[in-house]
A and B are shown apart, each in its own frame.
Chain A
Amino acid sequence: MKLPRTLLPYAFIGPAILFLAALLVWPLVQAVVLSLQDVRSVGTTGKWVGLDNYREVLTDGTFWSSTWLSLVWVVTNAVLQTVLALLAALALNQNFPGVRIARTWIVLTWIIPTVVVVMIWRWLFSTSGGIVNPLLIQAGIIDRPVGFFARPNTAFATLVFINSWRWFPFITLMMLAGLTRIPGDLYEAARIDGAGPWKRFSRITWPLLAPTLGVLLVIGTLLSFNVFDIIWLMTSGGPAGGTRTLPVLIYETAFKSYRMSEAAAVAVLATLFLMGFAVVATRWLARPPEAR
């Protein structure tokens, strides 16, 4: 059998596209259908209720407080990860003995199961043998051991730290990609013109890295928004709903309260938020650099 030349590319991409359509797009359609019905637990059938679930969700304070928490989660993670990754990328962009090894193994935090990440940090933050409390006491920041997961605010902040710990090396590598593409002669020329390190950073590195940072900020936002397992395994959304971001709310509504259709409605709304953000962000990034 011989394929006509024009159809060949489609034969190559077809399997991947069909696969994603079957496993991502079709379930999404099903989620929309589910959100218009009244289904409580998996496998049961429900009757059509129109937009009732959406009305229910949108007038529920829990949905809005979760949306707010998700927003705070995305922003705090973006800030912390960008700062950590930028520092690490600048350091790894230098020449020093062992730089290749350091570049490879920095992603160690990202290649281990999240369950293990959670277990490790629960131990490190614990009051029985954990290292964090003694370190903070030694540094004079606290004077007695703290239960980090006992209060909503500290639990939230600790989770932001743990999630950033897991993800920042991944961002670091992609930032490094942007850094290595800045031509070395630029720095050389600036040095000859007498520009100090700060000036070289602010006039060369920063402007040339900005497009990369933009892309990473978008990717990072999408990745952080979707984080569920770390939060669920660590706090299950508690204490007092203080870490119940939208993915946690969706899971809780579906598998703990057995209100599938309502969970689907929240999920559809979350997808709309995210897709809206992605469309706006990619359009903003696609603008020519000088217009930005």
Chain B
Amino acid sequence: MKRPIRWTVALTAALALFAGLVLLPFWLVLTGSVKAPAEIIARQPTMVPHSFTLDHYAKLLAASDYPVYMMNSLIVASVSTLITLLLAIPAGYAFFRMSFPGRETLYRAILLAYAFPSIVILIPLFGIFAKIGLIDSRIALVLVNVAFALPFAVWLLRSFFAGIPAEIEEAARLDGGSPFIVLRRIMIPLVAPGIAAVAVFAFVTAWTEYVFASVMILSDAKRTVPVGFSGIIGQYQIDWGLLLAGASLSILPVVVLFAFVGRWFVAGLTEGAVK
């Protein structure tokens, strides 16, 4: 089936618009991070760098604890992802493959938790964590990140669990498999794409979180990238080269992660997540 020419033109124009809107800022940041300072603040911005320098990166790494922030962020995001998965997978299995009294109510309660204004619990949670000695601890960040990622994670698993034919589960059960074995041997491999989608969501939620990390963490050695970087921004206000280098470095890990599992995440969102 062929598309009329004017629709091809319209489609191309729309795609160009969105490519520009999404990619142009990143292109300018990445190229800006290797431009000489004078070129960065030029009145007419250059699309292709005329100069090349790695000074900004060298200065960033020498002047700040950026690698430490990066390490903290990776630890916090990875552990948060792991715990989210450990909680969300069994919950998803029960919600979407079993029937039990209270299922609807509990499921709706979890959805409602997604609507939760996070800033509301910042104040009381700070008090609670202070009481049990979790202030200035990365565990506090993990707990908060899991709480924010979990409701959506359960929701995201819905279409993946629902898509598995009942016969497969039935057959496994008749063979004498306990529900735990059915979950581990049959279900988890079948919903692997959904698990990847949840993992990306949980990782990104933790990787980008700023507010709680800025309030709960006090010592510089435990700061995550968002908080550490905002400190650098405050210190080097208009040293755009250094800031652009920092921005580029913080984009890198998630882009690498996304290159591997991004398509599963997209599949998780598009293949029937909205119901």
Contacts and interface: CB of A to CB of B under 8 A. Distances in A.
B258 A23 contact: no
A268 B240 contact: no
Interface stretch (B50-58, B60-68, B188-196, B266-274): B266-274
15 contacts: A12-B179, A17-B109, A42-B127, A106-B22, A107-B262, A111-B258, A114-B208, A115-B210, A115-B225, A119-B243, A129-B40, A177-B269, A177-B273, A233-B230, A247-B117
A5 to B, nearest CB: 9
Contacts of A12: 90-91, 93-94, 98, 179
B134 to A, nearest CB: 11
Main SS at interface, chain A: helix
Contacts of A94: 3, 11
Interface in B1-36: 3, 7, 11, 14-15, 18-19, 21-26, 28-29, 32
Interface in A195-214: 197, 212
A108 B22 contact: yes
Contacts of A170: 269
A289 B64 CA distance: 57
Contacts of B151: 20
A120 B247 contact: yes
Given A13-B91, A28-B121, A123-B240, A96 B11 contact: yes
B217 interface: no
Interface string B181-222: 000000000000000000000001001101100010000000
B11 A91 contact: yes
| Closest 3 pairs (CB-CB, A-B) | A30-B124, A12-B94, A23-B147
Interface in A1-30: 6, 8-13, 15-17, 19-20, 23-24, 26-28, 30
A109 interface: yes
Interface of A: 6, 8-13, 15-17, 19-20, 23-24, 26-28, 30-31, 34, 42-43, 87-88, 90-91, 94, 96, 100, 102-116, 119-121, 123-124, 128-131, 134, 165, 169-170, 173-174, 176-178, 180-181, 197, 212, 215-216, 219, 222, 225-226, 228-229, 232-233, 247, 250-251, 254-255, 260, 263-264, 267-268, 270-271, 274-275, 278, 282
For chain B, the bracket of interface size reads 35 or more
B210 A114 contact: yes
B123 A24 contact: no
B263 to A, nearest CB: 5
Nearest to A228: B119
Contact of A250 (B14, B119, B270, B271): B119
A96 B7 CA distance: 12
Interface in B254-269: 254-255, 258, 262-263, 265-266, 269
Contact of A222 (B11, B44, B114, B210): B114
A128 B204 contact: no
A191 to B, nearest CB: 9
Contacts of B95: 13
A110 B204 contact: yes
A173 B269 contact: yes
Contact of B117 (A90, A219, A271): A271
Nearest to B228: A115
B144 A23 contact: yes
Given A26-B128, A31-B123, A16 B112 contact: no
A13 B96 CA distance: 11
Nearest to B229: A115
A116 B162 CA distance: 37
Contacts of A120: 25, 29, 247
A265 to B, nearest CB: 11
